[in-house]
Amino acid sequence: MRAARALIGIAQAELARRAGVSVPTIKRCESDSKNGPIVSAETQEKIRAVLEGEGVEFTNGNHPGVRLRRS
């Protein structure tokens, strides 16, 4: 998520506002958790929707990551 924010140049506070969540929630999402996500699936989806709406693509496969959609 941190990489996705960096791609589009959006601050944690702005992402939180647009997703309707708190800044601490964004920070929790971006923290390294060895036990998986530490926020609900619903919250993850809200955040993901904002990022994808800005052109971020979440990739899967052997090298999970993010990239900007091509126009």
CATH number at residue 51: 1.10.260.40
41 vs 45: CA distance, rounded Å: 6
pLDDT given for residue 62 in this prediction: 61
pLDDT given for residue 34 in this prediction: 65
Look up the domain containing 28 and give its range.
Answer: 2-68
Question: pLDDT for 7-51, tens place per residue?
Answer: 999 999 999 999 999 999 999 888 866 666 678 889 989 999 999
Burial class, 44, CB count within 10 angstroms (exposed 0-12 / middle 13-18 / buried 19+): middle
As given in the structure block, the two tokens for residue 67 are 């990239």
Give the CA dihedral 48, 38, 35, 50, nearest 10 degrees: 10
pLDDT given for residue 69 in this prediction: 72
pLDDT given for residue 39 in this prediction: 85
62 vs 37: CA distance, rounded Å: 20
Number of domains making up the chain:
1
